[in-house]
Structure 1
């Protein structure tokens, strides 16, 4: 968790997809149990100042070379097709605002520019300190928490079942449970 709990208002929830929301070890990959219900609840959460919590996906999906506008658009279209297969897209509409790939920023997570690009695309007026990142990746958690000063929750460590997530996230962002 972040260092200064309660002093910085969380405005955005950034979520990783693979191995956080979906089990990539299944064929085909599918959401972990409880993910759809949890996302439904999270979509209704408000920040401490009673504004809607902005919920976004941030993914390292692919980094085309060369990184042309056409290649970025094609990678994004491919990602959206994969997202459609999981039936989770509805939680991240409009996708042009709520889904950010590393290729949009030209670097992979946990580079700060990737998360800043996600906030920019989602029209969130805030800094990385105003975000909560959820991922299973321990190195991303460490960098985001210790170097970028983001709030973090690690799936598989801070919580192991998505049924637990809404209450924990609500407490972390300072919203009413």
Structure 2
């Protein structure tokens, strides 16, 4: 497996092989933000197929409750794997670690992620990787169904934060 930043030609492969995480976070919209520099879209590849992706949003979570507490915290958003049989095979962990490396290269000291309260398995993964629960919030959005009707949704979430530390260099003992 390898992790890379999304290229324009990768968007069609994402559309073909991975379901989109929602209208505001369809692959083309995420790539547009990536191209503008507002985020970095990462893809996990197995052989030549995309099997996971996530977006690192450099401006952070847009929920007012989170911005009030963590105004300078970038966010991992829309992490997904496909097919779901790839869960528990370190694909998500590899994407998260790549996001952390990118944040450290930018000189950032905190990285966060929103987790739905009804998703304890995902919260457990983030806790194992050093993220700690911080701020409850509602993740509000909307989507359009196949009949063209707009549906508004609000998911109860917890914003989890990790303080990043650069890798330790080996120091020779006298």
Instruction: Provide the TM-score with structure 2 as the length reference.
Output: 0.33
Structure scoring higher RCO (CA < 8 A, sep ≥ 6) equals 1
Structure of larger gyration radius? 2
Write 1 or 2 for the structure with the bigger share of strand. Answer: 2
